[in-house]
Chain A
Amino acid sequence: MMIGAAGAVLVLAATLTFVGLRDSVVYFVAPSELAEKAAPNQRVRLGGLVVEGTLRRDEAGAMRFAVTDGVTQVEVRYEGLLPDLFREGQGVVAEGTWTAGEAFEAERVLAKHDETYMPREVAEAIKQRGDWKGEDAP
């Protein structure tokens, strides 16, 4: 009986893990890949550099800024306070959804945590574009 119950718990755990991984995995995309990779209402992580001089507050009070990977610029809209370490010209990861023709709706914005750390996806995206200037490439 115990073995049967143990098997049931294992099956339950495996199902939870499988469904969890299917539903809550978030793909990382660079601005230039957004159109091809992000389906409407699919949560993605958009990573790139904040374009200098684009940070502003719109009429509705939300923050807007542009993110680039050196190829494409995407406007991001975020209702909330940007993290402490958010800076123009530096790496950022915005998690949210995107619909063609509109701004990227960010639900979460992550910024660089300290001076030597850049979100790895951002470094990856910039390196792919050949714009990598950092020395401690991860």
Chain B
Amino acid sequence: MIAEIGAFAAALALALSLAQGIFGLRASRRDSRAEATAAIAQAAAALCVIAFACLIAVFVQSDFSVAVVAANSHVDKPLIYKIAGAWGNHEGSMLLWCTVSALFGAILASTRGGQDLGLWSRTVGVQGLVTAGALIYTLFMSPPFARLDPAPMIGSGLNPLLQDPALVAHPPLLYLGYVGLSVPFSLAIAALISGRADQAWARALRPWTLAAWTFLTIGIAIGSYWAYYELGWGGWWFWDPVENASFMPWLVAAALVHSAIVTERRGSLASWTILLAILGFGLAILGTFLVRSGVLTSVHAFAVDPTRGIAMLVLLFVALTIGFGMYAWRAPKLAQPSGFAAVSRESMLVWNNFGLAIAAGVVLIGTLYPLIVEAAGGGLISVGPPFFNATVAPLLGVLFLLLPLGPMLTWRVGDMRAALKKLAPAAALAVLTLVAALALSQWRAVPAIGLGLGVWLIAGGLIYVWTRVQRGEGRLAAKLALLPLAVWSMSLAHIGAGVLTIGAIAETSFRSERAVALRPGEGVAFAGGRVTLLEVGQIEGPNYSANRANFRVDLPGSSRLLSAERRFFPTSPMPTTEVGILGRIDGDLYVALGDAVRDTPGAWSIRLYHNPLVYLIFLGALMMALGGVLSLIALGRRRKVMA
């Protein structure tokens, strides 16, 4: 019964989103119709939420007559993973996509603010069509409420690797980011139809872009952290197609966050901002397609069903054709203010956009190249980390070299010499780091340059905050309190990028790993300490049994206990790894338990990793996300002041 209510609500939501699209696009100057459009958008969102709640309900009830539940759930799974099971599969995640899109449509419809009526109404309309497209795909290509007859007695269980708190939050956050990019897309198309993309339009665009970017940042960081502690390989980023699928929209969203500032402040770059918005959403659909279609070999490819993949490509094709078609037709008609000085805040932001867009393009080429070669009959190939390290890293390096200059320059015409003079201490510190790192790492250039750049970003960000503090009056505390939130948010995000760079370079360049076979009581010297295997026992979890190994780690001056597990789920032939991590200021000591060694009785294979400063990667990502949140708050405050 619940499943039928859900299916009915979703079908009704489709009808309403189509109506939302038609009403919205046929915008008139009359307020009454605008009110009707808004009401329809809210009703569509409410129906989507009802449909998704029904899906969660059938998962909680373990109603195995619903195909999705039978394929992805199990009676003895903990409640939280039953709920998460609703979006831990293809059908459910697509329904989540629709629900988020409809909710964003409703929020758009409820927050017109000072926007032009026609522009606003068309935005809501395009968003309605986006939701409708996603719902058509979901209901016809991957119906989440399809029944099974006869119903199986028990479900086949959720992939144990995914039964993890981080993976409960990871997909919804990524989807909030992906779908969040649909709103800039709707705004862009509406602007093209209306023939205007002014400063008020950019003001409406900024919070959505920022929110999408922030969700993507948190989602990617959580996914990366999960890969780090759950896969047991000690790595955090593999340049896997599925990871690239989320990284490309992130890069474009980051570019969009910056170009929207230029459009809002100076009224320029409007058509570039529109193009980025279209590209960002296109990459978000492509991301969903790459993850869900399994066309690329990936460590975490999910559904393998060609028809679904093709349908997703059709959606992508429609969105991009409409987007680029409208762009080619209407963008030249947008008013274009004259260019700007070569040395100014806005020109630095153009460089930022250029770098981020090229980086996204390179990642796209690397990700799709195997598909192209295969289609051309060139055989099966793979493009791995060496390609991305050799291309994306230098591009981001150049970008980071320029980054601290941006905030130091003023709008319109900047003074490069003054900016460089102020940044001199940061440059000195960066060069010092570079030389020290060169000397300490036996003249390895790449890590030294990376660490130098990280220090340059952090010190540059701090100097910017300091120059802004000096503008204030009174005591230091008063000056700090008076600093605008926007200064804090931007600096936090930029410093976060530096922190992340240092963590990423330190981890990839200076990690050490060792594979050993140990019997209980035996130990091995590792990373300046000694790791001893104490015992290996058997334990029972709620829906698994596990081998649990206890270790003692002796470091100079201290001794700590650590345990690692290998879990066996009756629903899956593959065990999962629960690593033991000892976090210290110099990095993580990471222990993964393997199988019993077959030719040495009583011995276990154990992998040891030392990951220097790896926590800085996640700390940096968190700082960037926090910068996004603060910036959103700043925009919200300003909106209130202006209203």
Q: Nearest chain B CB to A5's CB is how many angstroms away?
A: 8
Which one of A65-73, A97-105, A109-117 contacts B? A109-117
Question: How far apart are the CA atoms of A9 and B350 in the complex, in Å?
Answer: 13
Tally B residues with Cβ within 8 Å of A. Answer: 48
Complexed CA–CA distance, A68 and B233 (Å): 26
| C-alpha gap A56/B597 in the complex (Å) | 11
Asked if A117 and B384 sit within 8 Å, CB to CB, the answer is no
Question: Are A16 and B572 neighbours in the complex by a CB distance under 8 Å?
Answer: no
Flag if A25 contacts B381 (CB, 8 Å).
Answer: yes
The stretch of B49-57, B362-370, B488-496 in contact with A is B362-370
- A16 with B294, Cβ < 8 A, contacts A2-B342, A21-B369 known: no
**Partner of B380 from A1, A12, A124 at Cβ < 8 Å:** A124
Given known contacts A2-B347, A6-B354, A13 and B381 CB-to-CB distance under 8 angstroms:
no
A25-B382, A28-B379, A85-B574 known; A17 vs B354 contact (CB < 8 Å): no
User: Which of these binds chain A: B258-266, B295-303, B555-563?
Assistant: B295-303
Which residues of chain A come closer than 8 Å to B398, judged between CB atoms? Answer: 9
Contact of A10 with B358 at beta-carbon distance under 8 Å, contacts A1-B342, A45-B382 already known: yes
Given contacts A114-B159, A114-B161, A119-B297, contact A16 B381 (CB under 8 A): no
**Per-residue interface assignment for chain B, residues 400 to 430, with 1 indicating a CB less than 8 Å from any chain A CB and 0 otherwise:** 0000000000000000000000000000000
How many Å lie between the Cα of A75 and that of B299 in the bound state? Answer: 24
B391 beta carbon closer than 8 Å to chain A: yes
| Nearest neighbor of A33 in chain B, beta-carbon distance | B379
Task: Indicate if the CB atoms of B342 and A84 lie closer than 8 Å.
Answer: no
Mark interface residues in A20-58 (1 if CB within 8 Å of B CB, else 0). 110111111000000000000000010000000000110
Complex contacts, B384 vs chain A, CB 8 Å: 24, 26
| B355 interfacial by beta-carbon distance below 8 Å | yes
Mark interface residues in B343-357 (1 if CB within 8 Å of A CB, else 0).
000010010001100
Closest to A27 in B: B381
A81-B607 contact in complex given A20-B391, A21-B383, A28-B382, C-beta closer than 8 Å: yes
Chain A residue at minimum C-beta to C-beta distance from B595: A84
Contacts of B577 in A (CB 8 A): 84
Least Cβ–Cβ distance between B346 and chain A, in angstroms: 11
Which B residues are CB-close (under 8 A) to A112? 574
Bin the interface of chain A by size. 35 or more
A23, A83, A115, A124: the one within 8 Å of B386 (CB)? A23
A6 and chain B: residue at smallest CB distance: B354
The smallest C-beta distance from A95 to any residue of chain B, in angstroms, reads: 8
Q: Using known A-B contacts A13-B358, A25-B381, determine if residue A20 contacts B390 with beta carbons closer than 8 Å.
A: yes
A13/B391 contact (C-beta < 8 A), A25-B381, A81-B515, A114-B572 known? yes
**What is the bound-complex CA distance between A2 and B339, given in angstroms?**
11
Which residues of the other chain, B, contact A83 by a CB distance below 8 angstroms? Answer: 233
**CB of B263 to closest CB in A, whole Å:** 18
B387 touches A136 (CB 8 A): no
Tell me if B355 and A16 are in contact (CB < 8 A): no
Residues of chain A lying within 8 A (CB to CB) of residue B395: 13, 16
Distance (Å) between the CB of B339 and the closest chain A CB? Answer: 9
Contact A115–B390 (Cβ < 8 Å)? no
Q: Does B232 have its Cβ within 8 Å of any Cβ on chain A?
A: yes
| Pairwise interchain contact A21-B159, C-beta atoms closer than 8 A | no
* A contact residues around B575 at 8 Å (CB): 84
Is A138 on the interface with B (CB-CB < 8 A)?
yes
Interface membership of A120, Cβ < 8 A: yes
Report chain A residues within 8 Å CB of B373.
Answer: 25
**Chain A: minimal CB distance from B425 (Å):** 27
B607, closest chain A residue (CB): A81
Complex Cα spacing A117 to B373, Å: 23
Is B508 positioned at the interface, with any CB of A under 8 Å from its CB?
Answer: no
Q: A17-B391, A24-B387 are in contact. Are A115 and B297 (CB under 8 A)?
A: no
Nearest Cβ distance between residue B355 and chain A, in whole angstroms?
7
Residues of A within 8 A of B287 (CB): none
Q: Is B355 in contact with A9, judged by CB distance below 8 angstroms?
A: yes
Nearest A residue to B358 by beta-carbon distance?
A13
In the complex, chain B residues 567-595 whose Cβ is within 8 Å of any chain A Cβ: 572-577, 594
| Bound complex: CA A86 to CA B355 (Å) | 41
With most chain B CB atoms within 10 A of its CB, the pick from A10, A17, A136 is A17
Chain A residues contacting B366 (CB-CB under 8 Å) are 17, 20-21
Verify A16–B380 contact, CB threshold 8 A. no
Q: Could you tell me the distance in whole angstroms from the C-beta of A93 to the nearest C-beta in chain B?
A: 9
For the complex, is B304 an interface residue (Cβ under 8 Å from A)?
yes
Judged by a CB distance under 8 angstroms, whether B394 is at the interface is yes
The verdict on B605 contacting chain A, using a C-beta distance below 8 Å, is yes
CA distance A124 to B304 in the complex (A): 14
CA of A113 to CA of B566, assembled, Å: 15
Chain B residues with CB under 8 Å of A26's CB are 381-384
Residues in A with CB closer than 8 Å to B607 are 81
8 A–B contacts from the bound complex (CB under 8 Å): A2-B350, A9-B398, A17-B391, A19-B390, A56-B599, A81-B515, A81-B594, A84-B577
The 5 closest A-B pairs by CB, nearest first: A81-B515, A24-B386, A28-B380, A24-B387, A120-B297
Residues of chain B whose beta carbon lies under 8 Å from any beta carbon of chain A: 159, 161, 232-233, 294, 297, 299-301, 304, 306, 342, 347, 350, 354-355, 358, 361-362, 365-366, 369, 373, 379-384, 386-387, 390-391, 394-395, 398, 515, 566, 572-577, 594, 599, 605, 607
Q: Which A residues contact B (CB, under 8 angstroms)?
A: 1-2, 6, 9-10, 12-13, 16-17, 19-21, 23-28, 45, 56-57, 80-81, 83-85, 110, 112-117, 119-121, 124, 136, 138
Known interface pairs A81-B594, A115-B574, A138-B294; 10 further A-B residue pairs with C-beta atoms within 8 A, sorted by A's residue number: A2-B350, A9-B355, A20-B366, A24-B384, A27-B380, A84-B566, A112-B574, A113-B300, A114-B161, A115-B572
